[in-house]
Structure 1
Amino acid sequence: MLEVNQIYTHDFSFSQKDVEAFATVTGDTNPLHLDAEFAAKTIFRKPIIHGFLGGSVFSKVLGTQFPGEGSIYLKQSMEFVQPMLVGVVYQAVFTVLEILPKSSARIETKIIEVETQKVVTTGEAIVMNRQLIPKI
């Protein structure tokens, strides 16, 4: 059962093939994500990962690992604080902020670049799971 202040972490990274597949599926073919020559002329100097590709780790973890399978993902806010890059190792950090009615919970979601410890994405999620979240 989830408890307030419980923390879960998950390390991950994305490849350029992941970025290209995401661009194909979503139709977001912004050259900032796909074209190194174009990206070199921007403030980022290299292609960056789509923000929602980075944030997709929240859906993966909340639906399958924490709280776990069968969770219903009700809401997610995200702020993209720093760009994410291909091949960099990141850590998603989930902190239970509050247990809510109807077996749901408010969870802080954050992505940190492992090497620098810089926060790159912040947000909050609300999930429901009748088996894994206590009913209040």
Structure 2
Amino acid sequence: MLLGKIQKKGRNVNDLVVGEKLTITEKIEDKDLLLYLGLTNDNNPLYIQHDFASKTIYAKPIVPPIMLMGIITAAISKYLPGPGAYIAKQDISFLAPAYHYSTLKFTFEVIEIDVEANGIVISVAAKDEQNNAVLVGTFYVNPPAIEQ
């Protein structure tokens, strides 16, 4: 992304179809965790300290759930429907922890379109490399408005 460069808008509500899918894969790296922790000043030892995490039910450090949310919102903003999209509401459940160095597969699907309200509903699911469900959610999104 370049500052000052006008980016092309994402797709509007008329350009989307129910059943449309997007899949992205993200590997959780140390640099990503450190950037998140530095940006948010979140110093929960469960997220970074192996000694602390080893004494919990998780046995090792986990990825902050809000960091996973960032991956989802970035995909909505970049790809489905893309630049100019606004997330109006979300409902998400974290089913299992994601661990450091995990490779997560996120699947997005347009499950509802409301042309009059300029809204779509996107379901999201993420699984780890062992195919364990990490999260499921529903996002209510306003695509970029249709030009008049």
Q: Note whether the superposition's TM-score is higher than 0.5.
A: yes
Contact 2:83 2:144 in 1 (8 A): no
How far is 1:26 from its partner?
1.5
How far is 1:99 from its partner?
0.4
Residue 83 (str. 1) matches residue 91 (str. 2): no
Q: Find 2:57's aligned residue among 31, 43, 47.
A: 43
Q: Deviation per CA, 1:61-89, whole angstroms, max 9, x where unpaired? A: 00011111121121222111010112111
Structure 1: state its 5+ residue gaps: none
SS class of match (1:17): helix
**What residue in structure 2 maps to residue 104 of structure 1?**
119
Residue 93 (str. 1) matches residue 95 (str. 2): no
CA distance in 2, matches of 1:54, 1:130: 24
- AA partner of residue 8 (structure 1): L
Structure 1 stretches (4+) deviating beyond 4 angstroms? none
Aligned length: 131
**What residue in structure 1 maps to residue 9 of structure 2?**
none
SS class of match (2:46): helix
Structure 2: state its 5+ residue gaps: 1-14
**What residue in structure 2 maps to residue 9 of structure 1?**
23
How far is 1:109 from its partner?
1.2
- AA partner of residue 54 (structure 1): L
CA distance in 2, matches of 1:24, 1:120: 24
How far is 1:50 from its partner?
0.1
CA distance in 2, matches of 1:37, 1:19: 17
How far is 1:13 from its partner?
1.6
How far is 1:20 from its partner?
2.0
Q: TM-score, normalised by structure 2?
A: 0.82
RMSD across aligned C-alpha pairs, in angstroms? 1.5
CA distance in 1, matches of 2:76, 2:84: 9
SS class of match (2:82): coil
SS class of match (1:22): helix
- Work out which of the two has the higher radius of gyration on C-alpha atoms and give 1 or 2: 2
CA distance in 1, matches of 2:87, 2:100: 26
Q: TM-score, normalised by structure 1?
A: 0.89
